[in-house]
Amino acid sequence: MTQSPQAPSGADLPRLPVTLSVNGETHELTIDPRVTLLDTLREHLHLTGTKKGCDHGQCGACTVLLDGQRVLSCLTLAVMHDGQSVTTVEGLGTPDHLHPLQDAFVRHDGYQCGYCTPGQLCSSVGTLDEIARGVPSHVTADLDAVRFSAEELRERLSGNICRCAAYPNIIAAVTEVHAAGDGA
């Protein structure tokens, strides 16, 4: 009787080199090619600000900025991003120098348990940049005239789920930062 070929175990897989700039610091890693960007940040670089909620692309808790654009870090592999720049919530501000959005979230009571907050913050930074660059969304009426509105915000942040339902306060915080012109 012939034996069927066995699937390679994890130990058989070659590890691959990847260089990531994370929050301005260069990291040269050699990792299992199956490791997600989320697990790379949390398990290899010990940046646990980025949260694992669903691990299936459904909650937004793992949102980070990749070369300035928001991505779900649970849905992409670290080795796909060699040479790219990642910004996590740890790179937005510090306790002594909060990012304007972090400051606004605090003042507007934009979080309760805080689990979704790192993803909400990264997504908000990316959203304000998208609107400023004229990237349309599903609710944009005139594709040549993308304008900030609460409706645009709700649509663009709809992938960031908050079990505590801090949504109105998050919208108020992001709206204030947009009005002040310092959301980048």
Using CB under 6 A as the binding rule, whether residue 106 contacts ligand FES is answered as no
Say what the alpha-carbon torsion angle 83, 84, 89, 90 is, to the nearest 10 degrees. 20
Token reading at 68: 């300035």
Using CB under 6 A as the binding rule, whether residue 69 contacts ligand FES is answered as no
Q: Which CB, 38 or 79, lies closer to ligand FES?
A: 38
- Distance (Å, rounded) from C-alpha 69 to C-alpha 171? 20
Using CB under 6 A as the binding rule, whether residue 52 contacts ligand FES is answered as yes
Burial class (CB in 10 A: 0-12, 13-18, 19+), 34: exposed
Q: Which stretch binds ligand FES (CB under 6 A): 15-23, 27-35, 79-87, 157-165?
A: 157-165
Q: Which stretch binds ligand FES (CB under 6 A): 21-29, 53-61, 89-97, 138-146?
A: 53-61
Which position among 13, 106, 143, 164 is part of the footprint of ligand FES (CB under 6 A)? 164
Which position among 13, 113, 143, 180 is part of the footprint of ligand FES (CB under 6 A)? 113
- Distance (Å, rounded) from C-alpha 132 to C-alpha 135? 8
CB of 147 to ligand FES, least distance (A): 27
Which position among 47, 66, 71, 162 is part of the footprint of ligand FES (CB under 6 A)? 162
